[in-house]
Structure 1
Amino acid sequence: MEDLYALDFDGVICDSCEETALSAVKAAKVRWPSLFDGVDSALEDWIVDQMHTCFILLQLRPVIETGYETLLLVRLLLEMRLPSLRKSSVAEGLTVEEILENWLKIKPVIMEEWSENREALIELSGKVRDEWMDTDFTTWIGANRLYPGVSDALKLASSRIYIVTSNQSRFVETLLRELAGVTIPPDRLYGLGAGPKVNVLKQLQKKPEHQGLRLHFVEDRLATLKNVIKEPELDGWNLYLVDWGYNTQKERAEAASMPRIQLLQLSNFCTKLK
């Protein structure tokens, strides 16, 4: 029997934390230029460092699902450090730890107080990354890395591979081509805009050519796997939480207690794909 693997991208195939942090700061400077007038290089470096740390941890919780949220995080960090810029009611006295614990509650508050629009921020995030790629492709690529062994595993995979991600497809295509030497056909890449991952899995399992295949879904977000478990229609999927991506030991322990979810090590993952 053949196997089909639906793979998340960030945190499973690619460690994109550095690129995400730097892109978020670049985009924030475009969206709110006046806020950065009084920001010196030391403070900007601090923001980038906190973004890098916070984004990892936020994914580990996990809370951030799409890249536009990182722009909000940049501005929030800036308001925490510079009270004169403060427009958010939640920024005063806020700590990084509290952001990590309460991001899902904080996000709608700051979106409303700053009069921000999700789709506009998504568009801006993509535009800034496109411009970075166009003007300094080498540095952009260098801010991303594939996890060890993944490139060879993808090249040698005998299973049917699909990418199911909240990242924008054009960036995923470029990273796979440049870092892994792999070309994923467009019909096997479901990126931002394809809808919830549970819906993508339903589409995949209904395709006539997939009937009789063993179905596997590999994620680094426990919350996403929990959403799959809630859907009886998806009971046929084997579910995996990776132990090298953006998740915590607490989440891995919780996953280990759930019969539907298997913890997956990187070496085993690479072996499975081959």
Structure 2
Amino acid sequence: MSLQPLLVFDFDGVLVDGMREYWWSARRAAQFLAPECHLPEGAPEAFGALRPLIHKGWEMVLVALELSRSDLDVGHYVSAYEEHTQTALAHWGFSAEQLQSALEDLRSEAIQQDPSGWRALHSPYPGIPERLRALESEGSPWLVLTTKGGNFARELLTGYGLHPQAVYGHEQGSKPEVLLRLREQGRPLWFVEDRRVTLETVRRTPGLEAVRCFLVSWGYLGPHDREQLPEGIQLLEPQRFAGPLASWP
């Protein structure tokens, strides 16, 4: 009998919509590091446009800092994100580690002081908790692999009554590195993600050629992310996700 696949889910943009929390935390961290920067309480439209490009938490804080600049060329930022990120780091004089530390410290403080308020800034996508509970009852193992801190993801999952086999945060290494370690369990790996670039990186990683990669249609996708997907990456729609694993593309 063949082994059930090990389902590996990204967190933000796949299981949970955390856009409100992203801006809330990024704004607070930016203003902590640079009190002179002025930012609106509600996320500006440009933050939503840049979100599909953001890979790690510290980048959110940097984006918030940049959005406080009156001379920012948002179009250039979107079209040359990696280049602009390096220029912005030099402009503000902060390291990625400083930005990440400010973000996580403020999140930890928020959880300690007002856990229900912090959780309320997140919303599970419709049908996700029910489907994950069904996977548990079907005997299909699943876990979470996220660039968010593992403790923050566990806090939210526990609040939704969800209990993955494990939660791997950014502390455990990059997503390809974690997937390579998971491969040693001997189960087929199915990786569900909303960031096309991450899936393409996984596909190019030696040793991960057999991982089945799924790009969810409901996450923080860029305008062209669904188009002309390369071999080995399948678009996963909500109806297929809700159905039996055998019906997944």
Query: 1:8 touches 1:220 (CA, 8 Å); kept in 2?
Result: yes
Paired position in structure 2 for 1:220: 194
SS in 2 for 1:107: helix
Query: 1:153 touches 1:273 (CA, 8 Å); kept in 2?
Result: no
CA distance in structure 2 between the aligned counterparts of 1:192 and 1:79, rounded to whole angstroms: 29
CA distance in structure 1 between the aligned counterparts of 2:170 and 2:46, rounded to whole angstroms: 22
The question of 1:133 aligning with 2:107 is answered no
CA distance in structure 2 between the aligned counterparts of 1:121 and 1:235, rounded to whole angstroms: 34
Normalising by structure 2, we get a TM-score of 0.90
Distance change (3 Å), C-alpha of 1:117 and 1:249: closer
Paired position in structure 1 for 2:162: 182
CA distance in structure 2 between the aligned counterparts of 1:160 and 1:120, rounded to whole angstroms: 36
SS in 1 for 2:148: coil
Q: 2:152 aligns with which of 152, 156, 171?
A: 171
Paired position in structure 1 for 2:220: 246
For residues 240-266 of structure 1, the C-alpha deviation after alignment (integer angstroms, 9 at most, x for no partner) is 1110011134110131xx221111012
Distance change (3 Å), C-alpha of 1:77 and 1:249: closer
Query: 1:67 touches 1:125 (CA, 8 Å); kept in 2?
Result: yes
| Structure 2 portions without partners, runs of 5+ | none
> Post-superposition shift, 1:272?
4.2
The question of 1:20 aligning with 2:30 is answered no
Query: 1:169 touches 1:189 (CA, 8 Å); kept in 2?
Result: yes
After TM superposition, the structure 1 stretch with the greater mean CA deviation from structure 2, 94-103 or 128-137, is 94-103
Paired position in structure 2 for 1:148: 126
> Post-superposition shift, 1:143?
0.9
> Post-superposition shift, 1:198?
1.0
Paired position in structure 2 for 1:74: 64
CA distance in structure 2 between the aligned counterparts of 1:220 and 1:272, rounded to whole angstroms: 20
Query: 1:57 touches 1:246 (CA, 8 Å); kept in 2?
Result: no
> Post-superposition shift, 1:135?
2.0
> Post-superposition shift, 1:112?
1.6
SS in 2 for 1:218: strand
Query: Which amino acid is 2:69 matched to?
Result: E
Q: Identity of paired residues, percent?
A: 29
SS in 1 for 2:40: helix
Give RMSD over aligned pairs. 1.8
CA distance in structure 2 between the aligned counterparts of 1:132 and 1:109, rounded to whole angstroms: 30
Query: 2:46 touches 2:74 (CA, 8 Å); kept in 1?
Result: yes
Alignment of 1:1-274 (within 5 A): 1=2, 2-33=4-35, 35-36=36-37, 39=38, 44-45=40-41, 48-50=42-44, 53-60=45-52, 63-80=53-70, 92=71, 94-157=72-135, 158-178=139-159, 180-185=160-165, 188-207=166-185, 211=186, 213-255=187-229, 258-272=230-244
Paired position in structure 2 for 1:87: none
Query: Which amino acid is 1:181 matched to?
Result: G
Structure with the bigger percentage of helix = 1
After TM superposition, the structure 1 stretch with the greater mean CA deviation from structure 2, 19-28 or 226-235, is 226-235
Q: Which has the higher contact order (CA 8 A, sep 6+)?
A: 1
Query: Which amino acid is 1:227 matched to?
Result: T
| Structure 1 portions without partners, runs of 5+ | 81-91
Distance change (3 Å), C-alpha of 1:273 and 1:142: farther
SS in 1 for 2:163: coil
Higher Rg of the two aligned structures: 1
Alignment coverage as a number of residue pairs: 241
CA distance in structure 2 between the aligned counterparts of 1:254 and 1:193, rounded to whole angstroms: 33
> Post-superposition shift, 1:218?
0.7
Query: Which amino acid is 2:56 matched to?
Result: T
> Post-superposition shift, 1:173?
0.3
Query: Which amino acid is 1:160 matched to?
Result: P
CA distance in structure 2 between the aligned counterparts of 1:9 and 1:121, rounded to whole angstroms: 21
> Post-superposition shift, 1:6?
0.9
SS in 2 for 1:120: helix
